[in-house]
Amino acid sequence: MGSYAYFRKQIVPLEEAKVSIMTHAFNYGTGCFEGIRGNWNAEHEQIYIFRLREHYERLKRSAQILRIDIDESVDELCDITADVVRRCGFAQDVYIRPIAYKSAEVINLRITGVPSEVAIFVAPFPNYLPGEGVRCGTSSWRRVHDTAIPGRAKVTGIYVNSALAHAEVEENGYDEAILLTHEGNVSEGPGENIFLISSGQMVTPSPAEGILMGITRATVMELAREELGISTIERQVPRSELYSCEECFMTGTAAHLTPVLEIDHRVIGDGHPGPITHRLQNLYLDVIRGKSERYRDWCTAVSPAVVEA
């Protein structure tokens, strides 16, 4: 069974979903996207798509900022996505990429009134970062300021910033980067939000630090509050606080909840995932695979299409 995509308002084989090199979004980065996880539950023989509606609500907000018109409603996008995932037939974890983009084949910086399209594709996707923990380095590249490119929108072009930061620290022997604001405070990872257990409190950079308002971030904050009785403090985090915290972890659709074991050659805690990190990681992984009845409404269950012999 081949893979499929939603392209130009119909579901087609993936190899038919092509755009021209003249496409506005290809030339100028005028697109916005979501990364959505579909998590395979072998016992149920289903893929559980996590917080599908919330992702499309955020895509709509990103599109509004970028003046991209999306004809499809949130409900329609959810239904289309479930259909594409079902048709692809993957019996494993998948990554779903919806992208709304300026589709005109024109060389012009104007975005107002320029035609737009939505495309959705699915691909198998194992762990993005090692689940047992990562070593992070602070990047010399600073998080793009909201007055340059709006950080609340998942704009395709802004991820050049993320790619440069990740490449820099990877070449220096680290697994992932941490970006600072132009003022030198902690912002986020290239594709992750960051949390600290600092002086016994769970802390994360506030929205004012140019972060993407992560759906996994919000999920983990709710799980910490409802399941562990721990509230999260959103505030400014100085870089030096990273080095003295008791625990640290990153969250994101691709990264799930990943412990941070070392930052800039400084070991965090005892060099192993801390107790709060460990409990939250286990809770989160159960929730996204549909194993928690209490949070089952966060998951959209899809049974892969059966290939007939």
Distance CA 226, CA 216 (A): 15
Compute, in degrees rounded to 10, the torsion defined by CA atoms 31, 177, 179, 282.
90
Q: Of 9, 102, 154, 291, which one is the catalytic site residue? A: 154
Q: Which pair of structure tokens corresponds to residue 121?
A: 């594709």
Question: Apex CA 285: angle with CA 283 and CA 286, to 5°?
Answer: 65
Quick check: 35 and 26 in contact, CB under 8 A? no
Distance CA 57, CA 218 (A): 14
Strand pairing category for 134-142 and 256-263: parallel
**What length does the chain have?**
309
Quick check: 84 and 5 in contact, CB under 8 A? yes
Look up 154 and say whether it is catalytic. yes
Q: List residues with catalytic annotation.
A: 154
